[in-house]
Amino acid sequence: MHISINPWVWLGVFFTFSVLSFLYKDNPFYKLAEHVTVGVSIGYGMVIIWHNALIPRFYMPVFQEGKLILIIPAILGLMMILRIVPKYSWLSRYAICFSVGGGAGLAIPRSMQASVLRQLEATMLDLGFTTTQGINNIVIFVGVLAVLIYFFFSKEHKGVFGGIAKLGIWFLMVGFGATFGYTVMARLSLFIGRVLFVLQDFLGINLAG
């Protein structure tokens, strides 16, 4: 065991335990870690936005390539900042409407393509009882139909319709359970990552043997 002499590793371990201390109860160490995260994230964001967006997307095109049309979105952006001035906050609507309107226009065909047509296409596969894939395709087809019927509230869930809707609940329950299990394991692997950091990077324990 060789305890690290790297002050950065010590800092990492200190913040790891500060956050874990929340499992006991809310305390100043957790609050410190929380506020440090917010501060560091803001500072990180500033630097990244400056280098990855402001310089290549605005400064260079406008001041070096002479693409003056980009001054229009800059003006819209400045109007957005006016949101903090109550008298002129309505001017921010121009920028918001530009972004939201365009985004909504893009979303209509793209959502139809990606979330509806592609998904329907992927559901309507070869159905059959002779192969495992064919049986799985039947389960998926029936499941999608049942879930859709469950979410159709314009007709009362009674009789055959109600029965299919109930089947939809079964599929949803299995889906939620699977998602829950998957999320728990993903979070546990993050926890294992933190434990490994303390054991290997800080305490210098070689787990590989």
Ranges within 145-204 binding other proteins (CB under 8 A): 145-148, 150-151, 168-185, 187-188, 190-191, 193-194, 197
Cβ at position 202, least distance to other proteins in Å? 11
Least distance from C-beta 144 to other proteins, angstroms? 5
Q: From the list 27, 31, 128, 134, which residue makes contact with other proteins (rule: CB under 8 A)?
A: 31
46-65 positions binding other proteins, by CB under 8 A: 46-47, 49-51, 53-54, 57-58
Interacting residue with other proteins among 60, 63, 102, 124 (CB under 8 A) = 102
Contacts of 27 (CB under 8 A, 6+ apart): 21
For other proteins, how many residues bind (rule: CB under 8 A)?
A: 114
Is residue 18 within 8 A of residue 33, CB to CB? The reply is yes
Q: Residue 73, interface with other proteins (CB under 8 A)?
A: yes
CB of 205 to other proteins, least distance (A): 18
34 binds other proteins (CB under 8 A): yes
From the CB of 33, what's the least distance to other proteins, in Å? Answer: 5
- Of the residues 3, 60, 68, 112, which one makes contact with other proteins according to CB under 8 A: 112
Print the SS3 string covering the chain. CCCCCCHHHHHHHHHHHHHHHHHCCCCHHHHHHHHHHHHHHHHHHHHHHHHHHHHHHHHHHHHHCCCHHHHHHHHHHHHHHHHHCHHHHHHHHHHHHHHHHHHHHHHHHHHHHHHHHHHHHHHCCCCCCCCHHHHHHHHHHHHHHHHHHHCCCCCCCCHHHHHHHHHHHHHHHHHHHHHHHHHHHHHHHHHHHHHHHHHHHHCCCCCCC
131 touching other proteins, by CB under 8 A: no
Residue indicated by tokens 């800092």: 11
Q: Which of 109, 156, 206, 208 is the binder for other proteins (CB under 8 A)? A: 109
* Residue among 84, 160, 207, 208 that touches other proteins (CB under 8 A): 84
Q: How far is the CB of 201 from other proteins (least distance, A)?
A: 9
Q: Return d(Cα 41, Cα 87) in angstroms, integer.
A: 31
Rounded to a whole number of angstroms, the minimum distance from the CB of residue 85 to other proteins is: 11
